Structure 1
Amino acid sequence: MKFFTATILAAALAFTAGCSSTTLTSTTGVDRKQFLIVSDAEVNSLSAQSYAQLLTQAKSQGALNTNSAQYARLQTIANRLIPQAKVLRPEAATWKWEVNLIKSNELNAFCAPGGKIMFYTGIIDRLNLSDDEIAAIMGHEMAHALREHGRENVSRAYAQQAGLGILAAATGMTEGQTQLAGLVSQVGVSLPNSRTQETEADVLGLELMARAGYNPQAAVTLWQKMMAANQSGSPQFLSTHPNPANRIQNLQSLIPKVMPLYQQAKR
């Protein structure tokens, strides 16, 4: 059975071998080809539903956007970052971007497919983040959405579960909508990304924050703080992330590439 599933998956990979990268070639050079058999419209719609459910739950618990000062900070930072998204992906200018804040001690933040950003107060408070460091996190999470990592993960999971139905899925799914909705919720939003995807988000997030006029050096101080927090137990935000020391070294090597973008934005 495993061999059969692997064979079908290989066929699907061959079928989609000509697909292009979801983002334009960036200053930082991210252009990996991606395996995408589920439509972006469907993933974005289902992700928006999951995000709306999370908002409803948080509101019912009195935990949604309760800190007006922090919420205003997030909105201000998002208002500078979001216009830069179209540089990497022009159609992102038409997305219904949204940012919200949940009162929780969690060290966590995410951006669901389609531009639905969520921060938890714990990551801001416990790490005592500056605006530049918040921009580093937000840019990183926005990069996941721009690269459609959630859609990529859903596509892989759907391929593994669907068997022969994968070929039908590639031409427009008419069956298994309930299954797909579950995958979007569980794989596209909740489960962690791969290390390759995390590295891509680091790289593109660095470019986004620089273009928005936030100091890319803050990405290094952010991960230094995350390393310190990790010593007392791995935060959810760090699940499957690259080794923090390696990640910092990689970011430091990329800063010279994006520093001109930051300097131009500051001017």
Structure 2
Amino acid sequence: MGKVMAIANQKGGVGKTTTAINLASCLAERGKKVLALDMDPQGNMSSGLGIDKNNIEYTMYDLIVGESNLENTLIKEALDYLDVLPSNVNLSAAEVELIGMEDKEFIVKEIIKEIRDDYDYIIIDCPPSLSMLTVNAMTTADSVIIPIQCEYYALEGLSQLMQTVELVTNRLNPDLKIEGILFTMYDSRTNLSMQVVENVKENIEQPIYETIIPRNIRLAEAPSYGLPINLYDEKSAGALSYTKLAEEVIGRGK
């Protein structure tokens, strides 16, 4: 059965989608069968994997509201070993549609149940909010990876998200756990980045990835070419870091 990991943080700009795109791609590069599931109405995970999000017939929105099925929506082999369930701005309307639905917290879980066994890993990119879409991602997932930016307010956002994970665990998905905290946008030239890392390690009793994702121009450029970093510039610091993260994720699962 495939392992389902949600990449979540209600703060924007922490490298959440960058992590979702590049972890999925680097796992696929290692021969793992991966599904990239885009639950963010911005659709940046879809476009970052080379999909023209504004010109696709069916998206996660259509799946959620029952206007499409998996066969029509799934984009197979967007990259080698990597399939995509794409999204675009239409998904923002799903928040309203979900209100009246029965078992609205489990809609996506029921959808994914059909194909879960087809994959080694399912990586879900969550919206930067604690919305019903995020709750659906967390009821579907086995675990949550939390990217946090190496900045002053990192701990504040982290504690909020951990409370949400705890709430979902207590009420909706008792098997959900925090897979790990991932430091992103690390700048080795500043004391602040080092202080944030030490502060989190001292105050949070949760798994923390050894891999730290640096600030990297090539990482920022790659999405505009519709490519993950390992295909855009495999020798860049960003590519090496996400490759290391993928190996760490695989290693933890053994």
TM-score scaled by structure 1? 0.24
Higher-RCO chain (CA-CA 8 Å, sequence separation at least 6): 2
Normalising by structure 2, we get a TM-score of 0.25
**In terms of Rg, which structure is larger?**
1
* Greater fraction strand: 2
